[in-house]
Chains A and B, each alone.
Chain A
Amino acid sequence: MSALAKMASSRLFWPVVMLLVLFAINLVAFPGFFEITVRDGQLFGSLIDILRNGAPTLIIAVGMTLVIATRGIDLSVGAVAAISGAVACSIILGSPDPGSLATVAVAVTVALLISLVLGVWNGFLVAVLGIQPIIATLILMTAGRGVAMLITEGQILTVNSPPFKFLGSGFWLGVPIAVIIAAVVFGLAALLTRRTALGMFIESVGINPEASRQAGVRARGLLFAVYTFCALCAAIAGLILTANTAAADANNTGLFIELDAILAVVIGGTSLAGGRYSLVGTLVGALVIQTLVTTVYTVGIPPIATMVFKAAVVTIVCLLQSPTTAEALSGFRRRLAVRSGKGVAAS
């Protein structure tokens, strides 16, 4: 098999092609696309923007990948993001010294701890009660926004706290903090699941929970772990989103982000049927989505049409991954091979 054919058969092939095509479109529309400049010791450029704006989606998508690998799904991540933002902002607002580092540390810690509780709740519904994941997390998705509204008392909480703001729009060594956090989350997930047997266990639960349990894998504990991890990721993303605007909006923080995250996972080649996953694929998927949004801006299409393009991308990816298409393609290839075989025999 030639190197090219080997590459084409890889699951990462189509997502990477899509990303490159988007880059090419951007380069044509805006020649300075790949330029990265250093201003005041901070990196600037379209690529940096893509990384920074895509960070929350990527963080949630990492958690979502592990959930989907167990043949689950978590629809509540947007609501969890809203709750964590609301909790952090209300704590900062309620403290006598909103600008101090200690206050922000307490706020962030409490928000993350609450997200752990929410994750355990989802895990309980799925692992112990055995409710379908779509529906189990739908409950928190519906009720969670209500809870977030309760915390913010229906208002948009605006905070003036430099350390908190730093989480969303700060830079460290010239790199946006959000990107660093995303890289840490991604790296941790990759290390924990791919350098240990954990990833394999998660995949085995996705293929057959009962069989894996009988083989000695603690399926229930693993389900708890992935849903809790996913909620934690959602909370981190929620904090970044909230810190970026320095305001907690219970209705709009993380609205539709669950769909973007699922989309990133699906584009990355992780099957929704569970059983195998690719974190690198998710990374590429999240980049594709964010680059798509950026492309819509640079090409000059009204930004509001972004959702139509997302719909097109989901449809195309799903149709490409569909078994029907694969069958049709392999049939076509076989016919081609037969024809070329005949050609060789004739000559």
Chain B
Amino acid sequence: MTKLLEAPTTNRQPRQRRGTGAGGAAPSGTGRRSPLAAALGLLTSPKYGPVTVTGLLFVAIFVIGGFRYRGFFSGQVFLNLFVDNAYLIVLAVGMTFVILTGGIDLSVGAVVALSGMIAASLLQTGWSPGVVIPLILVLTSILGLLVGLMIHVFKVQPFIATLAAMFLARGLCYVISQSSISITDPTFIQLAVSRIPLGAGLSITPSVIIALVVVGIAVWVLHGTRFGRTVYAIGGGEQSGTLMGLPVARTKVLVYVISGFCSGLAGVLFTFYTLSGYPLTAIGTELDAIAAVVIGGTLLTGGYGFVLGSVLGVLVLGVIQTIITFEGTLSSWWTKIFIGALLLVFIILQKVLTARRR
């Protein structure tokens, strides 16, 4: 686990120097900079500032929680952040791709519910999980493709196109069933209850592994492929991207396919967690995913951001929820207020950081 947290910092150092040097932001660009100036540069850059703040925030909350509550400062509490939020991590990864291009996907929560409903109803009629899961992933990817085509070919705003997809998915949930369907398939139950021991009494679930694999692939795609570079280019300026001869059309449609695929996968992971399909689940999850991405330092106008930042954003949301659980007297709706407040702080931070650069 520590490996995952270290990964962004080790990646960050060499690139950061290059980034600010090219931007000409540092007053003494030629000489070697003091660590203080480097730290300041890190905090005030629109690219790394928010994600650094998020990292510090996460550590701070975790340490405060550790001092306040008995038993908070344990490895399992930390691992449970991943166990409880595996599906949200996958959602946030898909959402990161979309927001990096400057779009938004409001349909993810409804698609999570829909894939849960499809899984539950098909498994009930005796389909094998080996068929059901791929089928769900294909169907949600197709939904993403349709949304992407609507946005690109018909120039419908992402907000409205994904809103239509959200209505469609939520409506289809109700058409499948109005009540909760429980899952009794042995494979699903096996995946839901099994724990992978990590030694020292710590354990994670298979969902966590899947989520981390998705994160790994997403990092590679965004930073190691031409497709990833085009995603950033579209967020930076769609017209410039087109003029540079980048495949803007294909990429713009593909990010929604990725988001659809991730929503489908998140839905499957969510059913591992709940072992049922219910048409009203995951209402408002799209907001959690957007909040995680924004808190994780991805600029809403696109162009800046990291998948690992979004993972950090999910962890911050998770640790807030954990603290509220540990506090006991605070009611769960405080979570919503805290998330709203955090969202505000980070958006203002983004605003300040990007304004300084202009």
Q: Which residues of A contact B (CB under 8 A)?
A: 73, 125, 129-132, 134-136, 138-147, 149-150, 154, 250, 255, 259, 262, 266, 272, 302, 304-312, 314-315, 318-319, 322-325
A324 touches B154 (CB 8 A): yes
Which residues of the partner chain A approach B172 to less than 8 Å between Cβ atoms? Answer: 308
Which residues of the partner chain B approach A139 to less than 8 Å between Cβ atoms? Answer: 340, 343-344, 347
Give the CA-CA distance A312 to B172 in the complex, in Å.
12
A305/B167 contact (C-beta < 8 A), A143-B341, A146-B335 known: no
Which residues of the partner chain A approach B163 to less than 8 Å between Cβ atoms? Answer: 259, 262, 314
B154 touches A154 (CB 8 A): no
Q: Which residues of B contact A (CB under 8 A)?
A: 104, 150, 153-157, 159-161, 163-168, 170-172, 174-175, 178, 283-284, 287, 290-291, 294, 300-301, 331, 333-337, 339-341, 343-344, 347-348, 351
Give the CA-CA distance A146 to B301 in the complex, in Å.
27
Q: At the interface, is chain A mostly helix, strand, loop or mixed?
A: helix
Give the CA-CA distance A255 to B170 in the complex, in Å.
13
Query: Shortest Cβ distance from A142 into chain B, in angstroms?
Result: 4
Give the CA-CA distance A309 to B175 in the complex, in Å.
12
B171 touches A310 (CB 8 A): yes
10 A-B pairs within 8 Å (CB atoms) are namely A131-B351, A139-B343, A142-B340, A144-B340, A145-B333, A149-B333, A150-B337, A262-B163, A304-B178, A308-B167
B157 touches A272 (CB 8 A): yes
A307 touches B174 (CB 8 A): yes
A319 touches B150 (CB 8 A): yes
Give the CA-CA distance A266 to B340 in the complex, in Å.
27
A311/B171 contact (C-beta < 8 A), A130-B351, A324-B153 known: yes
Q: At the interface, is chain B mostly helix, strand, loop or mixed?
A: helix
Which residues of the partner chain A approach B160 to less than 8 Å between Cβ atoms? Answer: 262, 266, 272, 314, 318
Give the CA-CA distance A305 to B171 in the complex, in Å.
5
Give the CA-CA distance A132 to B301 in the complex, in Å.
9
A315 touches B164 (CB 8 A): yes
Which residues of the partner chain B approach A150 to less than 8 Å between Cβ atoms? Answer: 331, 333-334, 337
A308 touches B175 (CB 8 A): yes
B335 touches A322 (CB 8 A): no
Q: List the B residue with the shortest CB-CB distance to A305.
A: B175
Given A272-B157, A318-B154, A322-B154, output 13 extra A-B contacts at Cβ < 8 Å.
Answer: A131-B348, A135-B343, A138-B290, A142-B284, A146-B334, A250-B333, A305-B171, A305-B174, A308-B175, A311-B167, A314-B164, A318-B150, A324-B154
B336 touches A307 (CB 8 A): no
From A129, A142, A311, B343 is in contact (CB under 8 Å) with A142
Give the CA-CA distance A318 to B172 in the complex, in Å.
20
Query: Shortest Cβ distance from B162 into chain A, in angstroms?
Result: 11
Give the CA-CA distance A322 to B151 in the complex, in Å.
10
Give the CA-CA distance A310 to B153 in the complex, in Å.
22
